[in-house]
Amino acid sequence: MQSIALPLIQSFYKKRIPESHKGTYGHALLISGNEGRMGAAVIASKACLKSGCGLLTVAIPFTERFILQTILPEAMLIDKKKVIDFSLYSAIGVGPAIGLENDSLNILKRIISSSKNPLVIDADGLTILSKNDEMLSELPPKTILTPHPKEFDRLFGEHSSREERIQTAIEKAKKLDVIIVLKGNETILTNGTETYYNTTGNSGLAKGGSGDALTGIITSFLAQGYTPFNAAILGVYLHGLAADITLQTQSEESLLISDVIDNLGKGFKKIIA
């Protein structure tokens, strides 16, 4: 198992091109949020844009649109209950707080059946997969799954230790041709052939919203043209790096994911330096 450290990140990090425009950096689609649960959509969307994608569209319940339009006017909105042309987007992230109702199941089925590009699936999206495990074998190749340990066990069965989960993650990633990001202390990433552990981050991230931000960050890098594995590696590293930088002004107890998102820029500067 290899570590994710700064030299690895710098070996594939893409600097911005002076002559570029918003189209250069991709158009991400996030499907996130539900009635009374729009915080996840706000967090994922802000993290996505702060990570550099050129355009972001967020599919949400339209009754809740004023929340996102007010907090993040840079994001475009569409009604997730309407038919979405997934081919318009460079990358798709789905799951944070979408709920487990039939509407969410149906939209995930439509994405999986019609999208040829890798997806990022998190949170409620993973729970839906765990209840409909036939969908796992239908995922586009190199789709990125980002479970925490409980979500991982719902997907792949109960495990008694971290080591057991890592072994299963390697086996399932290879069998399903997906990338698994097993979140936790020293988050593990595997594509079934290569396996890495992260070296950034702290226990301040052990709070609601952290995974939503990571979904937005990884989706942003996927939209910008990084390979799925590199998008996941860079996303996990930057997420943790920004959290470590946040400890300069916050404690692990007081750290909020909004603080971490605000420090993504400082994280980028450390990578570029």
Please give the chain's pLDDT, 273 residues, in tens: 999 999 999 999 999 999 999 999 999 999 999 998 999 999 999 999 999 999 999 999 999 999 999 999 999 999 998 999 999 999 999 999 999 999 999 999 999 999 888 899 999 999 999 999 899 999 999 999 999 999 999 999 999 999 999 999 999 999 999 999 999 999 999 999 999 999 999 999 999 999 999 999 999 999 999 999 999 999 999 999 999 999 999 999 999 999 999 999 999 999 997
Locate tokens 């949170």: which residue?
123
Number of domains forming the structure of the chain? 1
Find tokens 């994710």 and name the residue: 4
Domain with 217 in it: 26-272
Q: Which two tokens stand for residue 25?
A: 């950096």
Asked if residue 167 belongs to a domain, the reply is: yes
249 in a domain, yes or no? yes
> 168 lies in a domain?
yes
Please name every residue paired with 60 in a beta bridge, in sequence order, or none if there are none: 79
Report the candidate in 116, 142, 124, 117 with the shortest Cα–Cα distance to residue 34. 124
Please give the structure tokens belonging to residue 181: 């990001």
Q: Is 245 exposed, middle or buried (0-12, 13-18, 19+ CB in 10 A)?
A: buried
Report yes or no on 161 lying in a domain. Answer: yes
Residue 244 sits in a domain of what CATH number?
A: 3.40.1190.20
Please state, as a whole number, how many other Cβ atoms lie within 10 Å of the Cβ of residue 114: 12
Residue 214 lies inside a defined structural domain of this protein: yes
- For residue 17, is it within any domain? no
Amino acid in the structure at residue 111: I
**CA nearest to 207, candidates 124, 265, 148, 134:** 148
Q: Quick check: is 6 in a domain?
A: no
Examine residue 31 and state whether it is found in any structural domain, yes or no.
yes
